[in-house]
Structure 1
Amino acid sequence: MHAIRLHAFGPAENLVAEEVENPVPAPGQVRVAVVAAGVHLLDAAIRAGHAGPGPAPALPTVPGREVAGVVESLGEGTDAAWLGKRVVAHLGFVPGGYAELAVTDADRLHEIPAGLDFAEAVAMIGTGRTAMGIVQFAEPGPGDVVVIPAAAGGLGTLLVQYARNAGATVIGLAGGPEKTRRVAANGAGLAVDYRDPAWPDQVRAYAGKVTIVYDGVGGDIARTAVGLLAPGGRHVVFGWSAEGIQGGGPLVVDGVTVQVPGPPMLEKAGGPSPLRTLELRSLAEAAAGRLAPAVHRFPLTEAAAAHRALENRATTGKVVLEP
């Protein structure tokens, strides 16, 4: 099969297309003919040699932890009902997604709801489940004014939709006119270019005090957004693609509660498998038409270009590779 392999940690150019042996499903596993594979910022960080939340992969490796496709082979003892099903799965810390074929445990599979394509399903199994985890910490409602930095990204797109559906006033921040147009089209009441130094004044004029900031950016944008929060407002930190505000537990910044999802996200989700709880909720939201992920597609052979675009903030929506 064709796959993308990494032989040495380093720049995106280290991702190379190669012919490799087909993976063989073990007992309890399935082999999926991959139609879409998700690309995550964590993939880029691991590729560059930075530590992730799990162990570093042994090299050479086929990156990628999110796949959607059709089950075409079964391991011993796997339920035969999966054969031929359209499925999506998060592979966990086991890589192998950037390929024409991938194996995973059958208990990680979800059947893709009707009306959802493979790339959209990949977006919901990774980015969507994260969005469902984030909103647990600050459920928006009709009385809320919500600011979402990086609102044109895969996660920001879903958070804008979720807050809008809940009746909140939604303000999306993005870099440049093209991205702000996308944010407005996605349903934000106000789409603001954070490159404009006057953006905080635009927010104040539109909505006054902010009650929720969903922040995956950090840095100056986050500090400014926190300054717009009303007393008792909630600043939910789930990442920091820019340097700046970050931390590992509930913090207080100028009297404003700052919550950092991580392990607490799973505790809050509950159930015997908290990640699966969030995945099921995410897919259900998409199947019902309440959430519609944005997808930025690249051919599998252009994995290096996909990584560069993601790292340079030149993408809109969830980045997906298609064999």
Structure 2
Amino acid sequence: MHAIRLYEFGPAENLRYEEVPDPKPGPGQVRIAVKAAGVHLLDTALQAGRGDLLPFPLPELPVTPGREVAGVVDQVGEGVDESWLGRRVVTHLGLVNAGYAELALREVEALFPVPDALTYEAAVAMVGTGRTALSIHHIAQVEPDDVVLVTAAAGGVGTLLVQAARNAGATVVGVAGGPAKVERVRASGAHIAADYDEPGWSKTVREALDGRDVTAVLDGVGGAAGREALEMLGMGGRILLFGWSAGSLTEITGQDLVNRMLSATVALGPRMMRVPGGLRAMQEKALDEAASGRLVPAVQAFPLREAARAHTALLERRTVGKVILLP
């Protein structure tokens, strides 16, 4: 099979498309012929060797990145019912577990059937990014009287957060970089969409809100845009951090919190683990929401052999929605 291999931390060009031995499923495992593999911002941090941005230690090299895949079961290991053969499945592989490949292994209890209504690309988007978005939405406790500002609102998580907040009855402000992305934010259902690459974007949003304060910021971009979004929160507002696509986290001080009685939460890791039913329940819910049409993930696909180009585009914030690799 072909897979992406990383032998040295550094630029995206270090991701190599190579032929490697086919993996064999062990006891309790299945092998998946991969139809779509997800790309995550953490994969780019791993590629670069940015251990400061990872929630786990840097692995020993060489390694094949990849956290989520969808495809067809083509082999089963010892103890696995053969009825799994030929089934369309999707799964989250773990933190660094060889998803950028034509074949992947996973324990059978970690699989989800792909609903007939979903493509493999949509299933991959929902099993990882979808569960993250729904977990953030749950932690944020979005209510109909909220004014929710979503940064990186054209990204994989941001697109779903805009839809989930709109479905909850909140007024939704979505901000993204560049006119094309702003149009995608509007198409996702944001009541107000703005370009945070334009000077004075927050003033434009304030005018559109006509005196209403932002009550919740869901921040996936960080940097200057995240800080400007923080400044828009009214008294008693809340900010939830879930990413840093700008390259750095939003700067928040204790004084910021005290002056306006704000709350700040990192809506990742342990907080996600404590959502009702845990992550598996959120994965099931995410797939159900997409199959029903209540949430529609946006995806942008690249060939597997062009994983380096996909990473570069993601890092340069030139992608829209969830980035997918197609073997």
Give the shorter-chain TM-score range: over 0.9
Structure 1 equivalent of residue 130 of structure 2: 128
Cα distance, 1:253 vs. partner? 5.4
Cα distance, 1:232 vs. partner? 1.6
Separation in structure 1 between the aligned mates of residue 160 and residue 314 of structure 2, nearest angstrom: 17
Structure 1 equivalent of residue 92 of structure 2: 90
Cα distance, 1:266 vs. partner? 3.4
AA aligned opposite 1:252: L
Once the two structures are superposed, what CA deviation does each residue of 1:208-254 show, in whole Å capped at 9, x if it has no partner? 2111110112222222222221222121112233334358x9x9353
AA aligned opposite 1:108: A
AA aligned opposite 1:210: V
Q: Aligned pair 1:282/2:296, yes or no?
A: no
Structure 2 equivalent of residue 15 of structure 1: 15
Separation in structure 1 between the aligned mates of residue 17 and residue 198 of structure 2, nearest angstrom: 40
Cα distance, 1:265 vs. partner? 2.1
Give the counterpart of 1:322 among 318, 323, 326: 326
Structure 2 equivalent of residue 109 of structure 1: 111
Separation in structure 2 between the aligned mates of residue 253 and residue 238 of structure 1, nearest angstrom: 22
Give the counterpart of 1:312 among 294, 299, 316: 316
Post-superposition, which runs of at least 4 consecutive aligned residues in structure 1 deviate over 6 A? none
* Structure 2 stretches lacking a partner, 5+ long: none
**Deviating more after overlay: 69-78 vs 234-243:** 234-243
AA aligned opposite 2:264: V
Structure 2 equivalent of residue 299 of structure 1: 303
Q: Give the conservation status (yes or no) of the 8 Å contact 2:34–2:104.
A: yes
Structure 1 equivalent of residue 182 of structure 2: 180
Check 1:232–1:169 CA distance in 2 against 1; reply closer, same or farther (3 A cut): same
Q: Aligned pair 1:34/2:34, yes or no?
A: yes
Q: Aligned pair 1:237/2:238, yes or no?
A: no
**Deviating more after overlay: 251-260 vs 180-189:** 251-260
Give the counterpart of 2:194 among 192, 195, 206: 192
Structure 2 equivalent of residue 215 of structure 1: 219
Separation in structure 2 between the aligned mates of residue 246 and residue 226 of structure 1, nearest angstrom: 9
Give the counterpart of 1:157 among 145, 156, 159: 159
Check 1:176–1:252 CA distance in 2 against 1; reply closer, same or farther (3 A cut): same
Structure 2 equivalent of residue 266 of structure 1: 272
AA aligned opposite 1:317: G
Q: What TM-score, normalized to structure 1? A: 0.94
**Deviating more after overlay: 52-61 vs 103-112:** 52-61
Q: Give the conservation status (yes or no) of the 8 Å contact 1:151–1:174.
A: yes
Which secondary structure does the structure 2 equivalent of 1:291 belong to?
coil
* Structure 1 stretches lacking a partner, 5+ long: none
Separation in structure 1 between the aligned mates of residue 258 and residue 284 of structure 2, nearest angstrom: 34
**Deviating more after overlay: 252-261 vs 174-183:** 252-261
RMSD: 1.8
AA aligned opposite 1:257: S
Q: Give the conservation status (yes or no) of the 8 Å contact 1:145–1:170.
A: yes
Q: Give the conservation status (yes or no) of the 8 Å contact 1:240–1:246.
A: no
AA aligned opposite 1:24: K
Q: What is the aligned-residue identity percentage?
A: 56
Separation in structure 2 between the aligned mates of residue 106 and residue 253 of structure 1, nearest angstrom: 48
Structure 2 equivalent of residue 169 of structure 1: 171
Q: What TM-score, normalized to structure 2? A: 0.93
Q: Give the conservation status (yes or no) of the 8 Å contact 1:34–1:68.
A: yes
Separation in structure 2 between the aligned mates of residue 299 and residue 8 of structure 1, nearest angstrom: 22
Separation in structure 2 between the aligned mates of residue 144 and residue 192 of structure 1, nearest angstrom: 18
Q: Aligned pair 1:4/2:4, yes or no?
A: yes
Cα distance, 1:94 vs. partner? 4.2
Separation in structure 2 between the aligned mates of residue 86 and residue 234 of structure 1, nearest angstrom: 40
Separation in structure 2 between the aligned mates of residue 211 and residue 94 of structure 1, nearest angstrom: 36
Aligned length: 320
Cα distance, 1:282 vs. partner? 1.1
Which secondary structure does the structure 2 equivalent of 1:147 belong to?
strand
Separation in structure 1 between the aligned mates of residue 77 and residue 251 of structure 2, nearest angstrom: 43
